[in-house]
Structure 1
């Protein structure tokens, strides 16, 4: 309970009541807070299942979401935030499987566990493939069904 007692009030009030703070770090734009359910960046709550990846450099963190949005936080002293981001994003992924579709390429099928225990599937098509192509989409859906049966998800 020491973390909670020493935690700044701004951190405590920034997180949802259902979220448990794992670690936090302050920067010039405010706090970056990693909880068991989400990452808080500049007032934005990003549930872990929506975080594709975190990229670090000497000045801070850039987070890319599964929707392709990018969020940046300056963190000259990140503390344990990098480890928390890596661990929580990895923990949200249930399945990450590549499936070839045709001679042009394939699709990566990723299942992520949402906050409410739903499983959310994501299709990541190879570069140059049109995700809106009905034929490719049908092949991807077929591959998804096979993977779901195989993994029981």
Structure 2
């Protein structure tokens, strides 16, 4: 019988991938999970960000708060990432998921969300607003409008501003934020 439970093993990545993803530099946050991508390249999840080198050699380092959501399809082994600041997705075809990358991506993205709200709009789908924490612990506001809706249209902007003001007020009441809300 083991008296001291074993701690989960740390994710270990081959040195050449570690260098390509700049995980070997001092001050880089700890590696949590990684996977090789079909066609070459790799994706790595650290405490603070997602790092990807695509099969075409493009490098991407993005904080967890910049990911709107991600969807994992086990059958196709495809992890598709939706970004807060773009309608473009990033599909990652996982070759061998030895490091639990899809699970860790989900956990890290969810860990940034503090408060969310749906914003009814006059036509169609609602917009969404959120307060999220970045890697430094700062709260930031985000708004996502459905395709075809202009976020700067007066009635849309007013509805989003009201919803964000309510979230900031709620965060203040719960002691989640110190100080006034930053400008968006």
* Aligned counterpart for 1:60 among listed residues 73, 78, 81: 78
Between Structure 1 and Structure 2, the one with more strand by share is 1
Runs of 5+ consecutive residues of structure 1 not aligned to the other structure: none
> 1:127: how far off?
5.4
Between Structure 1 and Structure 2, the one with more helix by share is 1
Aligned length: 151
Q: Which runs of 4+ in 1 moved over 4 A?
A: none
- Using structure 2 for the length normalisation, give the TM-score: 0.70
Query: Is the alpha carbon distance of 1:12 and 1:129 closer, same or farther for their aligned partners in structure 2, counting shifts above 3 Å?
Result: closer
Residue aligning to 2:108:
88
Query: Is the alpha carbon distance of 1:72 and 1:107 closer, same or farther for their aligned partners in structure 2, counting shifts above 3 Å?
Result: closer
> 1:117: how far off?
2.1
Counterpart-to-counterpart distance in 2, 1:149 and 1:82: 33
* Aligned counterpart for 1:48 among listed residues 57, 64, 67: 64
Counterpart-to-counterpart distance in 2, 1:121 and 1:34: 23
Quote the RMSD (CA, aligned, Å). 2.4
Runs of 5+ consecutive residues of structure 2 not aligned to the other structure: 1-7, 54-58, 178-184
Bigger Rg, which one: 2
1:107-146 CA-partner distances (Å, limit 9, x unpaired): 3211121122222211123555431212321232122112
What pairs up with 1:11-90 in 2 under 5 angstroms? 11-13=17-19, 14=21, 15=23, 17-27=27-37, 28-42=39-53, 43-57=59-73, 58-68=76-86, 69-79=88-98, 80-90=100-110
Counterpart-to-counterpart distance in 2, 1:88 and 1:50: 11
- Using structure 1 for the length normalisation, give the TM-score: 0.83
> 1:92: how far off?
1.0
